[in-house]
Amino acid sequence: MPTGLRPSTSSSCDAAIFRPIRASLQQRRKEMPKLSPLRKAEEIASTFGFEMAIVDLERLFSKEASEDHPLLRRKLAGPSAPFPAERYAGKPLRVAYQGIPGSYCQEAAAKAFSSIRCEAFPCSHMEDAFQALEEGDANQAIVPVENSIDGTIDRNFDLLLRHQDVEIIGELVLPVNHCLLSLKGTSRSDLRRVISHPQALSHCRAKLEGFERHLEIEEVPNAAEAARYISENRITDTAVIGSRIAAKEFGLEVLEQNFQDRSENFNRFWQLGLGAQHQRRELGDAWKTTVAFSLEKGVSDLFRAMWIFESRDISVTKVDHRPNRSNPIRVKEESTGDHKYFDYVFVMDVEGSASDSSMEKALKVLEEISGFVHVLGSYTCRLKN
């Protein structure tokens, strides 16, 4: 619709005509039998076709500016909100990151905020970064959430679900660059031992086995701490697998970059903030929304939740699940006795902004089959080298 023009009177009339039709369709949806794997194919197709009819009507009669969704009104400022950096013009942005100086998370923070003044500070424990945001010690935070080889960091999913005032405002994907670090002047032939975090060692197993001489391999809880220890104690026969920023922090030499076995290795980080902070939506930005929800009928309803988005041309890109701590056990009554099984909270990534009309409608429908729906964030993703 051109700027400055309002919906015509006929559009308002069409919407008024549609309301009773939509109400009737929604009533039929509630009365329809639930889908079952045992249902005939034509019955399933009929049900899905009915759902698509509702979707098409919603698209046909949707307004240019839809009514506020109660969840989004509370949680999301929408595409016109300023990028957080602009809110702190004139003073550096304070960014909390998990780990110590020299960690991969510090490297991610440096790359995420390379174009603005930033004071990044470490948090020893995962929960500290969330608390720093809530207590005002940090404007934003960077936390790791997934590695393309090892999978998700479940602890940070749990923390995001628990700290409901904190939400995802950006995502950063970085290629992993495991570096072989040693004291300056140390050669590969001087090495007797390599130490690092177990995950980094597993990523570099073939390279270590193919080393020109036998090496002792030692696991340590923190690669950045190991790099600092080697530097401070001037250990000449030991290398650590760590980040480039660790070499810079502790004055170490990079004997070899990209020491990992596979080049297709990426880390995913979340940029976190409080609910009022959001990125400006630029033309061409690819947006993602992450939503958490429980299902009144448990895991068997997951396909219905996914269909709500897919039927509106909103692609589901990822689904995770975490134990539902508020209702951990479900009991299914059967004539043969009670059956107990675990209940879950689902965390789903879908393509698109939460302020899009189709997304708002999908979230409203999701509420109909959910115990709760909580938008964890709507944001853009950046891939950096």
Q: Does residue 205 surpass a pLDDT of 90?
A: yes
Q: Please check the confidence at residue 284 and state whether its pLDDT lies above 90.
A: no
Phi, psi of 151 (to 5 degrees): 95, -160
Of the listed ranges 218-222, 229-233, 342-346, the least confidently predicted one is 342-346
Rounded to an integer, what distance in angstroms lies between the CA atom of residue 289 and that of residue 165?
16
pLDDT digits (tens, 9 = 90+) for 20-38: 445 554 555 455 544 443 3
Question: What per-residue confidence (pLDDT) applies to 281?
Answer: 52
Quote the pLDDT of residue 341.
75
Q: How far is CA 301 from the centre of its chain?
A: 22
Cβ contact 368:295 at 8 Å:
no
Name the least confident of 86-90, 163-167, 182-186, 348-352: 86-90
CA distance 147 to 155: 14
Short-list 226, 131, 134, CA closest to 179: 226
pLDDT at residue 325, as a whole number = 78
pLDDT at 16 over 60: no
Distance between CA 238 and CA 217 in Å, rounded?
Answer: 10
Place of tokens 């919906």: 7
pLDDT for res 88 = 53
Distance CA(146)–CA(248), nearest Å, equals 25
Give the per-residue pLDDT at 288: 95
Q: What pLDDT sits at residue 280?
A: 54
Beta pairing partners, 82: none
